[in-house]
Structure 1
């Protein structure tokens, strides 16, 4: 059975959860990198939206993008919640049966939960804009093929710089703070709550942030759902319910913060004050940014191919 993108999206808009999926009651293995970037999905799990659609979710922590795409492609995971990376494009181009099901977070119109920061001593010495980063060491999760590489590229563009003008290090979020403290790195691109934490500890100061209104994170599906479009529609509909619970300041409702605490391990005190991301109420995929990401990853030399692929080939139901 094939499914057009128009049919896929229109069925979601109608709020339809197919009977086949409701009756299935099957386990759905979800791999995630814990972050409020994926808040709608946590809500869909915790509030029973997936169970109502006929699924029993089982959540597991995952590592790198390449590892996640491999586990998804071979059916060890049914869904991955993560950043769109070079591994995403490489997997699809190589014929792996993985697709983007929905967007996750959008960079918000208000506040900077994700940002570029420089070490506090460098900031005090006058490094207060991206223009001063030439020759400096920057760190972010995953290295040049990661989502952070794209965000950093967007920030550097207006300054006339690229990542080739800096030394890039891949560091996990928990390792970034100690690296700043040791002065092993000069700058870091980080996501909430680390952006706030680094500044509160006086390790770093924010100098720039990605543009508002773009999304580089997503939910991904593999062969187990792609071969069952009815089930995929049901899963996406449940996720959309989660997103609709988080519009505007509803993000900070106690019932939602409790859910985020459960799935990210972040203290309630942090969740109450950290900047929030925006979530499209229909979890619309940011296709314009998706196309630009492929071009940037090609320029960075992290794609395993030279002829760019149609980005529609990355989207479930396209």
Structure 2
């Protein structure tokens, strides 16, 4: 119990994120009909927005309060402390450390995964001047270089970078990962602050159009580092089952041509604040229709963080992590 309390105390600074949340300020979920969901607006989480806009949560008899936070992976303590019932976010090294030490959360669903195709919704963008000067053809040329990742090596992007580098025989220890916010990556590449950046669309498109960067590599097909985290108390409630049922209906709408249908793009534009024109030109992610947590990816992610020296103590098992 003392160990678990220490974990929560170490994570308390993230609870300040509540000040940045939107939505009702009072307790939610007490009667099982309201589910408070912390999220960072992103097309990665399209099933959430589609399910809400199409009325699938309402059809299940639950009300969803979407609460925006600044950093999704840092919002997990909100679920552990009962401030929200669910977090739709990236999985960070902190999640694995916390779960292994008794943090009261469970991974309930997966979210967007890489397609492995080009153009890709996420890409390793390398400074164009560097590629031209060194005739760099793959990520192996980045050994010893500075690479920008939002949130740093321990964020979800750190694992995506590790998966992307693996094909070139590199690990996170072979590069210097620098924490740079996504909007600032283009400037960091242009002024030489970093050699490369792992960035999502539409920022990748903007970098390339400006002649600042070129995509050198993309995460392998199926790479995923995001999903839905439930508070342990919420996991067993009927509302949790209803929430997932509605979420899966949202995922079903995003299969095949549904990923780029005009109606779904309009929903995503409203939810993320991006223009529909930008989204039309943004490569989409892919979603498992059942949003089943990918335990294989979770274990690979944990291994990547441990190899980079970002985890302490024992490793969490798949049963520890997944509901």
Same-fold status (TM-score > 0.5): yes
Alignment of 1:22-61 (within 5 A): 26-61=33-68
The answer as to whether partners of 1:122 and 1:186 remain within 8 angstroms in 2 is: yes
CA displacement 1:93-149 (0-9 Å, x = unmatched): 121111111110121154311111101111221223111111211011111111111
CA displacement 1:60-108 (0-9 Å, x = unmatched): 2223355311111111121111112211112211211111111101211
Structure 1 vs Structure 2 CA RMSD: 1.6
The answer as to whether partners of 1:85 and 1:145 remain within 8 angstroms in 2 is: yes
Instruction: Identify which of 234, 237, 241 aligns with 2:245.
Output: 237
Q: 1:109 to 1:187 in 2, by over 3 A?
A: closer
Instruction: Identify which of 185, 206, 212 aligns with 2:194.
Output: 185
Instruction: Identify which of 294, 306, 314 aligns with 2:321.
Output: 314
Query: Following the alignment from structure 1 to structure 2, what is the Cα–Cα distance between the partners of residues 304 and 65?
Result: 22
Query: Following the alignment from structure 1 to structure 2, what is the Cα–Cα distance between the partners of residues 272 and 177?
Result: 21
2:92 matched residue in structure 1: 85
2:79 pairs with 1:72? yes
2:140 pairs with 1:113? no
Per-residue deviation, 1:160 = 2.5
Q: Relative CO higher for 1 or 2, CA cutoff 8 Å, sep ≥ 6?
A: 1
Q: TM-score, normalized by length of structure 1?
A: 0.87
Bigger mean CA deviation after superposition, 60-69 or 176-185: 60-69
Secondary structure of the structure 1 residue equivalent to 2:167: helix
Query: Following the alignment from structure 2 to structure 1, what is the Cα–Cα distance between the partners of residues 185 and 124?
Result: 12
Per-residue deviation, 1:213 = 2.1
Secondary structure of the structure 2 residue equivalent to 1:214: coil
2:185 pairs with 1:176? yes
Query: Following the alignment from structure 2 to structure 1, what is the Cα–Cα distance between the partners of residues 139 and 32?
Result: 51
Alignment of 1:69-218 (within 5 A): 69-108=76-115, 110-111=117-118, 112-125=120-133, 126-218=135-227
2:295 pairs with 1:287? yes
Secondary structure of the structure 1 residue equivalent to 2:268: helix
Query: Following the alignment from structure 1 to structure 2, what is the Cα–Cα distance between the partners of residues 131 and 109?
Result: 18
Aligned residues: 291
Which structure 1 residue ranges, 5 or more long, are not aligned? 1-23
CA displacement 1:154-179 (0-9 Å, x = unmatched): 22223232222222111121121222
Secondary structure of the structure 2 residue equivalent to 1:168: strand
